[in-house]
Amino acid sequence: MPRGLEPYYIYAKPPNINEIEYIGLLSLELRGAAGRNLAGYLIVRNDYPNDGQLIFYKVPIGSSTQLLGPSAVQEALDRDPDFATLKTLLRNPRIGDNILYRIGEQDVYFIPVYTAGTGGVVAQIGKIAAVGAAFTGAYYVGLGNTPVEAFNAYLAKLAGLAQDQVGVDRSTKINNLLKVFEENGVVVVKPSSINIPLTFKEGEFSYSTQEEFEGVKSSVEGFIASQVKAYNLSRVISWEEQDNMNFGAVRVVDGVAELHYITVKIGN
């Protein structure tokens, strides 16, 4: 077992197991590997009726694909240019424990990066790093505010995509959109029901990747200028419909309430 890497318990779906289970995972290395490469890993199944069953997943000796160990994972993280920038911004962050997961066909280490140094009183997670465990000559590292973001960034690196083409998770998209209104001094409220006689759709935009956000932000700010501030309004209403986030401004024209709104397609 690699020094400094203890057994841990997670919910996961190991290879050849059809459902997510609560398992114990123990990484194993070849003697003399010094934590750089793993021989494989051993899982212990804990769910009835398979509790106590041991399964060893091994990397064939001489395989062109190696399974990174803890010291090699740290090296991969240190070599990543995006992480180097993050280290500068966070001023020597503290790196948390690495946990190996298998997601689909990908073996990936997830590592929390804390904003506080080792001697800090309060530690907060600044970023999550996802480091590909399978090594064929190149390291692949993704960073994100959530494990989903980090994993998507890792997949994008694996596919050779630029960072701004990485998909953004739904909650982050919603928070980014709400922040646009906040920065423009507009309050967003979510009514329990909406019953307005006249509705006018002023635009529809798509927001899937970070690359698209600047364009969406500009469109939202245009809506704020033309439909909110132009009528001396200080708040908008928002509601969700499946994959869409809607924002609307209500005003009264000739005694009749009108809802002027935009739709942002954010996916699931």
Per-residue pLDDT, 121:
54
Per-residue pLDDT, 236:
96
- Whole-number Å distance between alpha carbons of 120 and 50: 43
What pairs with residue 8 in β-bridges?
Answer: 25
* In the predicted structure, residue 164 carries a pLDDT above the cut 70: no
Quote the Cα angle for 226-262-170, to 5°.
130
Full-model pTM: 0.54
- Whole-number Å distance between alpha carbons of 258 and 241: 20
pLDDT tens digit string along 54-72?
Answer: 888 777 776 777 788 777 8
Query: Do the beta carbons of residue 36 and residue 4 sit within 8 Å?
Result: no
- Whole-number Å distance between alpha carbons of 84 and 238: 39
* In the predicted structure, residue 1 carries a pLDDT above the cut 60: no
**Residue 245: closest CA among 204, 215, 211:** 204
Q: Is 155 helix (H, G, I), strand (E, B) or coil?
A: helix
pLDDT tens digit string along 138-150?
Answer: 888 888 888 888 8
Query: Do the beta carbons of residue 113 and residue 123 sit within 8 Å?
Result: no
Query: Do the beta carbons of residue 144 and residue 137 sit within 8 Å?
Result: no
Lowest pLDDT segment from 5-14, 63-72, 164-173, 175-184: 164-173
* In the predicted structure, residue 210 carries a pLDDT above the cut 50: yes
* In the predicted structure, residue 165 carries a pLDDT above the cut 50: no
Per-residue pLDDT, 55:
86
56-60, 71-75, 86-90, 204-208 — which one is most confidently predicted on average?
Answer: 204-208
The domain ranges of the chain are 8-163, 171-265
128-160: burial string, b at 16+ Cβ within 10 Å, e else: bbbbbbbbeeebbbbbbbebbbbbbbbbbbeee
